Amino acid sequence: MTPERLERARQILAQVHHPAIATVNVDGSPLNTPVFGVFNAQLHLFWSSAPDSTHSQNIRRDGQVFVVVFDSRQGHGGVYMAAQAQELNDTRHINYAYALLRASNPKMGSVERSMGNGPQRLYRAIPNKFWVNVSTKDEEGYVIRDQRLEVSLGDLL
């Protein structure tokens, strides 16, 4: 893995704030949900969602998620993450996640909207594995294959 590719992955995690979170429904079918999210310095992903949404229910049931953070501009790549997710319940973690999210989105409203009977909850995904997108090009510069290569959390920090 080149230093440039790792640096690009770090930039994607810092700058792209709409990851897609995949969960598995009760019947085994896949569900993919884009959310507004922010990574912290340890590369934990935080987001806000309605507690009765299907992906929130799936997370409560088993906690397993697969996250894709992709820069849609041609040739800018993506980062993939297998993780364990959870709804945040204690005030300290909720306030921490809220501060991170609000720093990137000042229109989030008050933290109380994510507590008690509020319409939202805050979630965290702790990574198990990361991959980066790598394209192989032919002699004319056309992409002929995309693949994911695993990278360690330490390489991305």
Structural domains of the chain, count? 1
What is the extent of the structural domain holding 70?
3-156
CATH number at residue 48: 2.30.110.10
pLDDT of residue 75: 63
Length of the chain: 157
Phi, psi of 118 (to 5 degrees): -60, 160
> What is the residue-level pLDDT of the chain in tens, covering all 157 positions?
788 889 989 999 999 999 999 999 999 999 999 999 999 999 999 999 999 999 999 999 999 999 999 987 766 789 999 999 999 999 999 999 999 999 999 998 899 999 988 999 999 999 999 999 888 889 998 888 888 899 999 999 9
Helices (H), the chain: 3-15, 54-62, 91-104, 153-156
> How confident is the model over 7-29, as pLDDT tens digits?
989 999 999 999 999 999 999 99
Tell me if 88 sits within 8 A of 123, measured CB to CB. Answer: yes
pLDDT of residue 147: 86
pLDDT of residue 77: 81
Strand partners, 67: 21, 81
- Read off the amino acid at residue 106: P
Distance separating alpha carbons of residues 9 and 43, to the nearest angstrom:
12
